[in-house]
Amino acid sequence: MSRVDVADGAIAGAVGSTALNVVSYLDMALRGRPESDVPQETVDRLAGIAHVDLGNGARAANRRSGLGPLIGYGLGIAAGVGFALYAGGRRQPLPVATGLLGAGVMTMTDGSITVLGISDPRTWRRSDWISDIIPHLAYGLAAAATWNRLRRPPGRGR
């Protein structure tokens, strides 16, 4: 595993995270649904566990608003690096890579919020699952396509 492969995995994860956010915001705009408060609640729980004071009032709310998406990008980038380690520098079949990346990030995020006691996916409605699955599939597809695009076609050296 080379540094280039790790960097390419991070790039693929960042592209996937951007796609996830675009699809989520498009869903909010089209359906008129509110923004999720889960990222901010995650920041609160993690700050409490780490004994980090976010401040009071508007300052704390602003920190939660900034840190929530950064945690999401961090998870997405970490998943891209993890995928790079799994892929061993090789291109992967797009459907398989899409599923692995999308399901992997969805498991990381949904598992985190479950462990932190923020939400219980077992209680979600169909619309909740759709609002979760579609953006994570967008993540998987964008990250997988980016990973494969950054790999040279077979038979061509790096």
| Size (the chain), residues | 158
In a domain, residue 119? The reply is: yes
Q: Please check whether residue 63 is in contact with residue 43, taking contact to mean a CB–CB distance below 8 angstroms.
A: yes
Q: What's the pLDDT at 2?
A: 85
What gap in Å lies between CA 102 and CA 89, rounded to an integer?
19
Count of domains for the chain: 1
pLDDT tens by residue, 81-128: 999 999 998 999 999 999 999 999 999 999 999 999 999 999 999 988
Pick left, alpha or beta for residue 124 (phi over 0 → left; psi -120 to 50 → alpha; otherwise beta).
beta
| Domain presence at residue 42 | no
- pLDDT (0 to 100) of residue 51: 96
Of residues 103 and 153, which shows the higher confidence score? 103
Position 69 confidence tier, pLDDT thresholds 50, 70, 90: very high
Q: Is residue 92 part of a domain?
A: yes
Whether 80 shows a pLDDT value over 90: the answer reads yes
- Cβ atoms of 75 and 105 within 8 Å: the answer is yes
Answer whether residue 20 is part of any domain: yes
What's the domain range around 90? 6-29+68-150
| CA dihedral over 10, 14, 15, 19, signed as positive or negative | positive
Residue 98 lies in a domain: yes
Give the Cα separation of 145 and 147 in Å (integer): 5
Q: What angle, rounded to 10 degrees, do the helices at 94-115 and 38-50 form?
A: 60
Average pLDDT over residues 141-153: 93
58 belongs to a structural domain: no
Supply the pLDDT for residue 138: 98
Residue 134 domain-assigned (yes or no): yes
pLDDT band, very low/low/confident/very high, at 26 (cuts 50, 70, 90): very high
Torsion of CA 43, 49, 53, 54, to 10 degrees: 0
Question: Distance between CA atoms of 68 and 138, rounded to whole angstroms?
Answer: 20
DSSP 121: G
43 part of a folded domain: no
